[in-house]
Structure formats: C-alpha cells, structure tokens
Structure 1
Amino acid sequence: MAVAAATSLTVAGCSTDDGGAAAADTTTTAAAGDGIDLAALDTGAYNTEPKDFVEQGQRAEDFGPAVEGQRLAEFVVHPHTIDPALTVGGPNNGVFVGGFGPIFTGTERQVVEPFSMIHAFDSSRSTADESRTLGIGVWRFPTDDDAAGAAQALHQAIVSPSGEDLTSGPETPVSVPQLPGTLASTYTWPETGTTSLNTLTPRGMFVIYTYTSDRSGESAWVTDTAVRAVQQQIELLDRFPATPTDEIGALPVDLDKVLARTVGFLDNEYARNSDTAIYGPDGWLHFDSHPAVTEELFERTGTDRIAKANSNVYRTAGAADADDLKAAFIEMNGDTYPDLVPDTTLAQNLPGTTCWSGDTAQGRIGVCLMTYGRYMAEVSGFRAIANTDPDNDTLRTIAQRVATQYTKFVRADEMGLGEN
C-alpha cells in the first residue's frame, strides 16, 4: 500500500482498508453479474467499454517513452533489498519523461537538457526515522555518448565552485574505487550532521544515479550502500531488453489486456506518467508501502500484472488467489487505517465489493476492493482538510469509479477480452 499525503490518495500493493470483521459486514458474495442492472449504475462520464488496444492496433507513439520507462521499472533496484530498513516512501517514485523527476530542483536540470534524456525511473526509500535515505535513478538517453556526456556535465555542475542555484551547493568530488567509471561527490550539512553521496555511472545509453544520506554522518554506510546499489543495478540493467530508440513510439499498449480493465481518467483529471501504467510485480513494488511483505504476497498469489489508471487492477493466478490477495490487503490496512468504517453506500451491493471510509489527519478517504474472477481491483478517493477545489477531490467520484470498475469487469468478460 502506498498513500500520497498531499492532494490525492494512491493505493498500491496493499490497500487502504480496515480489518477482516468489516469485510464480513459489507462484502456481497453473489455470483458476478447476478441481478446487477449495469445500465442502472451511476458511472458518471467515465467510459465503461474496455478498450482492446492491441486489437485496434494502437501503439504508444508519443507516450512511448513513458511505456518504456514502465518496462524499465521491473529492472530497477529496490532500496529495501540493499538495506531492509529502507521501506518508507513510494508515492513520488515513478517514470519521468524528458528529465529525471524531483531528484534535483536547481540548475542541474538545465545542465542535462542538451543530451535529450528520453525517460527516467526513480525509486527512493528512507528509514522510519528518516535518518537514512537511498535513492536510485536509471536514466535513458538516445546514445551511449549522450549518456556519458550527461553524467560528466552533471557531475561537473555539482562539484563546480561557480555553480549557482544547485540543490545542495557545490559538492566535493571523491573516488569510489569499487565502482570504476563512476563519478561521485559528497556533501555535509553542518546544521544537521547529514552526510550525502551522489554517484553517476554511465552504462551504455543509460546513467545509473544513486543518492545516499545519513543523518548521523556515518560515511561508511553512505558509501557501502551506494556501492552495493550501483553493483546490483548494473546487473539488473544488463538484463533489461531495452527497446531501440527509434522503435519506442511503436511499443504496443497493454499487451496483457489488464489496463483495459481499469477505470481510466477523464480529461479534467490529473495523471502522472506513472498513473496510467501497467507493471510487472517488481515494477509495482516501487510504489508500495510494504514492499517486502507485498513481494511475498505477489509470489504466493501468482500476481503477475498490475495496471493503474484511476483504479488499480491486479491479475492473479486464479479466483481463489484474488480472494487471498484481497484478504491480505484488508488485514494490512486494518493496521494502517484503524479508524475507517464499512461504507455500504460506496459498495452499492456490487458482488465481491467491500468499501470503507473515514477521517484521517490529512483528510477524509474512501477505499473499495473488488474481486472478479482472477482479478482484484482497488479504487480510492481522498479529500484534503479544507479543500474546496473539486478537481483535487477524488473522494467526490469514488462511487462512480466503483460502478465503472464493476461494469468494465463484466463487459471485458462479455467481450472475451483475454490475453494475447
């Protein structure tokens, strides 16, 4: 489960639901589609027809760099595999097109512009007390020379005494003997005692970036963590079947027809490049708030695809596995959100659907889980305290999205929308 703390609620991996007792009160167990008049459901302006992108011959085109970035996610190191204590974070991880996302906020962005970055996938985690952080980025460029040039230019900008408006100020170049060809620099904040290390490692048409920091000033942890992260990332990246640059626009969309089953966004609803996506289990864990636990859960239930577009749809090995996945999400979220209560209004008596709502310190949330055959869907909404902007209120549309989700499941079945 991953929850964005600002203006929206994003649930990933483990859902935001209450305990098992609540599920027993609000889940309808009738056969899928039994007695449900789809035309009577309020789906608002959402499209209720699943779209077979492959059958229609639709390719990624301008969205190609984002699709390729989503493919890359499966081959990006998870910080918790480097240090098991690094589990906090997730909502800001994801795909970024034409730049490296929120890693840098100063003039570093301008430095790499001449090298035409295609996309990036960034993943960062901290310890529970936020004393230690590891961030990993894998950035794709058109050519090997572009990648090497971008790494050198960015490193020079970071360590240059004349650099202005840098994220952390001029850093000190250092050597990391265990990582030949890596450009590294360090910085210490005297007021907090935090020591950080940036590394840039060109690898073909990619640059591997790591950021490590330790508030206690332990440079040994900072360096050791960076070294192991880069070494593991090199191994993963070398296995990634990268799409040739001139073929990225021709990438197929939704090969496994899971994205077709998600709710989808309206034109006025904001979505990042990572919010309309389909991931494998390893790619999805970058967004999850319990990555190690969810990793085992995915393996147990055979969850092999997760699509995200205004709802999250998980494809498991079978119907019983979808039920198991839902039950596990309920249990984990009971600990995270103990104050949520069953909400039958949101559930709308839809088969296999369980919903909760309630108030948190950040605002009011609603969450629904739905099983349909081998699929399990997750729909959530959030209204921040004192928010009056409808466009920033996803709680407002949750009932319509739940109805749309069920309708799409049924229609996909009727269409025979299977796998390719």
Structure 2
Amino acid sequence: MRARTLLATAAAITCITGLAACTSTTDGIGVAASSGAPGSTSPSSSAAAVNTAQLDTGTYPTSPSAPFGFATAPDPEIVGAEGQRLAEFVTIPSEIDPEMTEIGLPTGVVFGTGSLKSVFASQAIADAAGVKGLVTGFFTSAGQPKKKISDKTRSLTQLVLRYNSPAAANAAAIAMNRASITTPAPGGDTFAPTTIRDLPGTLVSRASGRSPEMRSFTAHNSYVISTGVVVPPGQENAMESIIRTAVAQQVPLIDRFPATPIVPGVKSRIKLDQNNILIYAIPETEGQMLGGLTRGVYGPRGMSSLYGPSVFKALQDNGSEHNAVWHSTVSRASTDDGADAIEKKLVDADVANGYTRSDSPKGLPTATCLTEDTATGQENNCYVTVGRYVGSTYDRDMSKARQMISAQYLILTKADQTAN
C-alpha cells in the first residue's frame, strides 16, 4: 500500500494565501522567471522544452504562497510544528527490521490523545497517554510487502511521545501499559503482561490470538517510546527481538532531538516553514492531506512515512534536509544533479510498485506521470524537477494530477535556487 494514496483529514490549520509573482513568455515558450527572493537564480533544467502557453493548471495557484510566520505557545499549531521536527528523530520501521518496507497507516503527528486511538485501536490506552504533561509525538508504520492481500506478514508501528518532564513520561508509560492489560479494545485480543530479557525498564504486554501481537512502553527522560509488533502465527519469537532492536536504536536517536521548550509560563516559538520550502507546495483547500501527515516540513525520516526507505536514503544522500508536505510535496536537494537523483528514485519506486508511465502534461514534457489501476480505483503520481527542486503531485484523477504538476512547475520556476 502506497501511503501517498492514504488520505486522512488534516488537523485544523489555516491555509495561507498566495504571494503574487510573475512569469514571462516569448512566443509561448517558457522563460524562467527570476524569483522575488534575494540572491535567487533562474533554473535552467530543460526550460526551453516547456511551452507555458499550453500548460493547463486548472484552478491551482502558480505562484508561491505568502511566507509563513512562527507558531507561538500556547497556540496549538506549535504542537504540530514540534511534532514535525520530532519525526526526524523517530526510528523508521525498516531501520528496526529491514523487511519492513511496505509503508502504511497509522502515521502522523500527535496533537493529543485523539491522535493515538488509531495507533492502539484502544481509547483506553490513548486516554492513558494523556494522563498529564503530554506535549506532542510522532508515529510511523510499515510492514513486510504482501504478494496477496490475504498474506499474513509482520508489521510494526513506532511511536515516540514527548512529555514536559521525566516524571510525566514515567507516569504515562505505566498508565498506558496498565490500560493495555486491563482494558481490551472492543473485539480485540486480550493482552497479558510479560517481560523482555535485557529490557528491565520496558513495560511489555502480548496477545496470542489469530495475529500474535506485542506492545512495549519505555520511559526515557521526558519521552515514552512505544513499539507495536504484529506477526503471523509461528513467528512469536521474532517479537521480542524486534522490540529489543527498536529500543536500542530509538534511545540514542531521541537523545539527539533539540526539543523546543513548551511548558506553561515559558514563551517559545517555532518557525513553521523550516528553511523556507513550504511556500513552494500547492496549498490544500479541501481538508485532505497526504498519507496522514499534516501540512508542514519534514526531514527524510518523516518523509519515509510517505515514500518508504529507498526514498529516505535518496533524500539523505542528496541533502534534502527539509521537505514540504501540503497538497503537493516539494524537496530541495543540495545540487541540480541531486534533485534529478531524487526524482529518479521516486519514479523507480513507483515502477517497482506496479505503476506504468503515462503521458506528460501538455506543454510540460519534462514532467513524468505514472498510473496504476487498483481495487479501489486509479492512482496517479506526477513529478517535475526545476533546478534543485523536485515537485510531486497525486490524485485519483489523472487530469488533476497533471494540472497540479503544471502549476507546481510554474511555482518552482520562481523558487530561490540559492536557498539553504
């Protein structure tokens, strides 16, 4: 399952209106416009092949959005911004188990206990997570690829919750584990307490139904690390090993997180558009977001929730430290060649997942579009590279995907190619 096709209702975040900019044409042939950003340069990648007079951009904006400001406590938007930053310090499933490459849901930023019901399929555990002092969190999921829908495979959800003190984190871990054991979800299996050798500080429970499952809760400083594993019958011994690896990898990673102070009485703020890239994504106006991720800026690990581990490595290798997610996604590599490499990896990943190439939008032969017919309908992705930037669009309707990527191209011609 491709997470880009898994649509989830976005959190209540106000969209920003567009910032006016312009493009010039000569006899209908696109001429790259200079960006309004100081020190910007014009992209040159195949611009001469684009015929802007033929581009169909529908009703989508063709100029960057207005600059975003800061989220300031106690504005709830600061929770989303901090959760996006935290995503880069949450271990992705394929780092824990290399076979966990099929991305899926649940994934996203924790805005409160309501975000956690999908993680545990249990309101009791979600409520226990919010006993006191919950700030934010991030969770991501993946599993082994399936050849058939009926195949039983391993799956994993990794969650990190941030609290305002070690005491609050410890209390939450205890409460969540207690709820896991004492309050089965409606129609769910009953979990029993257990332990894992060499993890005395980790609280663990397991269920032995048709799909054996294990949950763990580890309080570490001001964080709770939770790993949920589901395996086919006969692979129960793998669960302990997976959780042991998850804790071993997650602890040193979360220790590196430069947390923003978000406590009562302390003034704090977070820049909503890290490295000024979200302004180049197409705004969402219909309340839908990609793959469960809320509007914002994510590092390579956060983006792996949309694109999987192969693209995660491509983003890392090519310097795309900040990536915008809105109605489209935008990545910025350190070089033009790096952007080309990221686009190639995105296209290759789609082809490997069964997509076939489709026609490029009229007037935009530099864009690549792919399509796949699935049991739930057609899925369509389009990509375009302009200098150091890679834009990506998705829609069930190929005509809309083409319109969006045409609009995305025009936005990226106005992007700052010298930005860091």
Is the Cα contact below 8 Å between 1:101 and 1:120 reproduced in 2?
no
Distance 1:130 1:2 in 2: 18
Equivalent residue number for residue 23 of structure 1:
none
1:47 to partner: Cα distance: 6.8
Equivalent residue number for residue 272 of structure 2:
253
Distance 2:84 2:127 in 1: 24
Q: Does 1:44 align with 2:44?
A: no
2:384 corresponds to which of 370, 383, 390: 370
Letter in structure 2 aligned against 1:252: K
Query: Comparing both structures, which one devotes a greater share of its residues to strand?
Result: 2
2:203 corresponds to which of 180, 183, 206: 183
Is the Cα contact below 8 Å between 2:131 and 2:171 reproduced in 1?
no
Letter in structure 2 aligned against 1:303: S
Distance 2:202 2:411 in 1: 49
1:59 corresponds to which of 39, 64, 71: 71
Name the SS for the 2:174 alignment partner.
helix
1:341 to partner: Cα distance: 4.3
Letter in structure 1 aligned against 2:207: Y
Q: Does 1:140 align with 2:155?
A: no
Change (3 A) 1:142 1:183: same
1:112 to partner: Cα distance: 3.2
Name the SS for the 1:271 alignment partner.
strand
Name the SS for the 1:75 alignment partner.
coil
In angstroms, what is the RMSD of aligned CA positions? 3.0
Equivalent residue number for residue 287 of structure 2:
269
Equivalent residue number for residue 150 of structure 1:
172
Distance 2:96 2:103 in 1: 15
Between 1:199-208 and 1:113-122, the stretch displaced more is 113-122
**1:323-362 correspondence to structure 2 within 5 Å:** 323-338=340-355, 340-344=356-360, 347-350=361-364, 352-357=366-371, 359-362=373-376
Distance 1:260 1:33 in 2: 25
Equivalent residue number for residue 206 of structure 1:
223
Change (3 A) 1:132 1:250: same
Equivalent residue number for residue 395 of structure 2:
381
1:376 to partner: Cα distance: 0.9
Distance 2:56 2:399 in 1: 16
Is the Cα contact below 8 Å between 1:353 and 1:369 reproduced in 2?
yes
Q: Does 1:98 align with 2:98?
A: no
Stretches of structure 1 that go unaligned for 5 or more consecutive residues are 9-27, 384-394
TM-score (normalizing by structure 1):
0.79
Between 1:140-149 and 1:310-319, the stretch displaced more is 140-149
Change (3 A) 1:228 1:248: farther
Distance 1:380 1:242 in 2: 33
1:328 to partner: Cα distance: 3.1
Change (3 A) 1:353 1:249: farther
Q: Deviations over 1:316-375 (max 9, x none)?
A: 12112222322333333223234x34224xx23136322244533321232211111111
Equivalent residue number for residue 21 of structure 1:
none
Letter in structure 1 aligned against 2:401: I
Letter in structure 1 aligned against 2:67: D
Distance 2:250 2:185 in 1: 30
Name the SS for the 2:88 alignment partner.
helix
Letter in structure 1 aligned against 2:353: T
Q: Does 1:71 align with 2:77?
A: no
1:170 to partner: Cα distance: 3.8
Distance 2:70 2:241 in 1: 45
Stretches of structure 2 that go unaligned for 5 or more consecutive residues are 9-43, 146-150
1:401 to partner: Cα distance: 2.0
Q: Deviations over 1:283-327 (max 9, x none)?
A: 3223323x1x33443344333322111111111121122223223
Equivalent residue number for residue 331 of structure 2:
314
Change (3 A) 1:130 1:240: farther
Name the SS for the 1:137 alignment partner.
strand
Is the Cα contact below 8 Å between 2:50 and 2:364 reproduced in 1?
no
* Structure having greater relative contact order (Cα 8 Å, sep ≥ 6): 1
